[in-house]
Structure 1
């Protein structure tokens, strides 16, 4: 399971025991790199892979927009 206590709580609340390898690698890359491109098959957990580290990066003290997620279709939004 992820090392971050916040991520652990989110995963437990979702009934997820652990991240898959792609999600672990994505989380590390997003937290440590400026630009990340994540390619993985449908149903592999990409949404969780990018949302967990984004939640960690958000600052409660900042009242403005901190993240913008663009999706190519309404269904993905």
Structure 2
């Protein structure tokens, strides 16, 4: 399954450089302002240029939810 940016506009992409380990968290909404909505997460990872080492094509991407962390574990079971 390929995830397009249009399918995840309220989420963030966590990008990590496979060369130097530099990490960046980008809101998908910001990416949508300059990219085609049908761009896939994999395409973003492949085309991203690292701000640390300037490497390109070695990125790893994860889709993440950012926000409302006080509710993230709501309903989770507590251990004694």
TM-score range, shorter chain: under 0.3
User: What is the TM-score when the length of structure 1 is the normalising length?
Assistant: 0.23
User: What is the TM-score when the length of structure 2 is the normalising length?
Assistant: 0.22
Structure of larger gyration radius: 2
**More helix per residue:** 1
**More strand per residue:** 2
Bigger relative contact order (CA 8 A; separation at least 6): 2
